[in-house]
Amino acid sequence: MIELLQKVRVIDPVSEIDELFDVLIADGYIREVASHISDISSDTQIRDCQGLVLGPGLVDLYSHSGEPGFEERETLLSFLQAAAAGGFTRVSILPDTSPVIDNPALVALQHKRAEGQRGRGAEKSLSPLLHIWGAITVDVAGKQMTELADLASAGVVGFTDGKPLENLALVQRVLEYLQPLGKPVAFWPSDRQLTANGVMREGTNALRFGLPPIPTSAETTAIAAMLELVATIGTPVHIMRVSTARSVELIASAKAAGLPITASTTWMHLLLDTKAVKSYHSSLHLDPPLGNPSDMAALRTGVRAGVIDAIAIDHTPYSYEEKVQAFAEAPPGAIGLELALPLLWQYLVETEEFTALELWRALSTNPAECLGEKVSAIVPHQLAELTLFDPQQTWKVERKSLYTLSQNTPWLGQQLKGHVVQIWC
Give catalytic status of residue 60 as yes or no.
no
Note whether 156 and 116 are within 8 A (CB): no
Phi, psi of 327 (to 5 degrees): -50, -50
Q: Which of 191, 273, 314, 390 is catalytic?
A: 314
Q: How many residues does the chain have?
A: 425
Residues with a catalytic annotation lie at 314
